[in-house]
Amino acid sequence: MPDNPISQSGQSLLFLTDEQLRKGIEAMFFAYRGFTADPDRILADMEYGRAHHRAIHFIHRSPGTTVNNLLSILGVTKQSLNRVLRTLIEDGLVESRVGKQDKRERHLHLTEKGAQLERSLSDAQRDRMRAAYRAAGPVAVAGFRQVLEAMMDQDLRRSYDTLKDRGA
């Protein structure tokens, strides 16, 4: 029975059919649009974009993080990040402090103004996430997290876990 999606052990593998996988792929595509929609709307009114949101999020998450650390989390070139950081610093949302041990490093912090924007962005994003979590329930949420974690590249998984542990 070569077409029967049942494993040798007798466990159903229907969730691994190409059709199911394609549905998962499309779900990721459409859901990610929703995921970014609310912050994008807020940022569209300002002179900022999604790249600024990401920088602000992770600076808020890890105050005092270095540029290099941020670079590896965001996965962009230092030139791209620098352009974003420069505008955030110029506009007084982010503060760059020379390192004490290592003066080559710059430690990044949100100013009060930056923290305000961070709050309005993450409030909007959390509201949607909360509604989705509430609609789906705790069991679904656990599964959601499991699948997403299994989908990450190894190095990103490490970044994710580091961030995860720190706040736990």
Binding positions for a copy of itself, rule: CB under 8 A: 12, 14-16, 18-35, 37, 54, 61, 75, 122, 125-126, 128-153, 156-157, 159-160, 163-164, 167-168
Q: Name the residue nearer to a copy of itself (CB basis): 96 or 124.
A: 124
The beta-strand segments (E) located in 18-135 are 65-66, 94-98, 106-110
AA letter at 163: L
Give whole-number Cα distances, 39 to 5, 85, 121, 130, 156, in Å. Answer: 41, 18, 5, 15, 23
3-state SS class at 98: strand
In the list DNA, a copy of itself, none, the entry touching 72 (Cβ below 5 to 8 angstroms by class) is none
53 in Cβ contact with 38 (< 8 Å)? no
Enumerate residues 54-83 that contact DNA by CB under 7 A: 54, 66-69, 71, 75-83
92 binds, among a copy of itself, DNA, none (CB under 5 to 8 A by kind): none
CB 162 to DNA: min, Å = 16
Pair of tokens at residue 119: 């709050």
Could you say whether residue 29 binds DNA (CB under 7 A)?
Answer: no
Residue 7 in the binding site for DNA (CB under 7 A): no
Q: Distance between CA 64 and CA 9 in Å, rounded?
A: 51
According to the binding rule CB under 7 A, does residue 145 interact with DNA? no
